[in-house]
A and B are shown apart, each in its own frame.
Chain A
Amino acid sequence: AQKITQTQPGMFVQEKEAVTLDCTYDTSDPSYGLFWYKQPSSGEMIFLIYQGSYDQQNATEGRYSLNFQKARKSANLVISASQLGDSAMYFCAMRVHHQAGTALIFGKGTTLSVSS
């Protein structure tokens, strides 16, 4: 079964510190894509970073980086130098083959709280 697991319901970090949000996945597809989205309290989904299953290097986008460990089936998001505006819910997602083509399935999310 294809599944995304986020085991941290909430994480707390101080400004300027780094934080790692955990994500593990399960799929039998040899080709898959992993995404991280940020959802502020307003509700919109903001795309942060992508990692492909065949990518040799870990993805990075500004303060966001992805610690991809394929053998462990984990794709943890690392946010460096946290800012107050980083407080939000963070979702790990996987693109999977689906009855109607491909679709994104999401983990349960992690609520990140950044304090000053």
Chain B
Amino acid sequence: GAVVSQHPSWVICKSGTSVKIECRSLDFQATTMFWYRQFPKQSLMLMATSNEGSKATYEQGVEKDKFLINHASLTLSTLTVTSAHPEDSSFYICSARHPESSYNSPLHFGNGTRLTVT
């Protein structure tokens, strides 16, 4: 089945530094990838939609300068949390749509990245 790999699975960084999270589709080319954020015991909130070769579409309230998304190839999208602060600590999870997927096909999710900013 389709596999989405996310790296790293967890990261601890100091306040003010930047962190890059990678999302790769291992056995298919994903023209569209999605980035979600999840606080403990809460829902997944869509942050942005990443389309290969074009600018990401951000959800209302998500700072595009803070959460930089790059989808430079059909198998890789990256999320960079710039100048991280403790309130950015969260679980970030990506998902990808298989190009042959139909409306009833599920999204394929990575295993998530737990970010802790100290």
Type the 1/0 row for B43-61, where 1 means its CB is closer than 8 Å to any CB of A. 1111001010000010000
Is the Cβ of B43 less than 8 Å from the Cβ of A108?
yes
Interface status of A42 (Cβ within 8 A of chain B): yes
Q: Which residues of B are interface residues toward A (Cβ below 8 A)?
A: 32, 34, 41-46, 49, 51, 57, 91, 93, 95, 103-104, 106-107, 109-112, 114
Interface status of A111 (Cβ within 8 A of chain B): yes
Interface status of A19 (Cβ within 8 A of chain B): no
Is the Cβ of A101 less than 8 Å from the Cβ of B49?
yes
Type the 1/0 row for A19-35, where 1 means its CB is closer than 8 Å to any CB of B. 00000000000010101
Is the Cβ of A52 less than 8 Å from the Cβ of B104?
yes
Type the 1/0 row for A42-71, where 1 means its CB is closer than 8 Å to any CB of B. 111101001010000000000000000000
13 A-B pairs with C-beta separation under 8 A: A33-B103, A33-B104, A43-B112, A45-B109, A47-B106, A50-B104, A52-B104, A91-B43, A91-B44, A98-B49, A102-B103, A107-B43, A108-B42
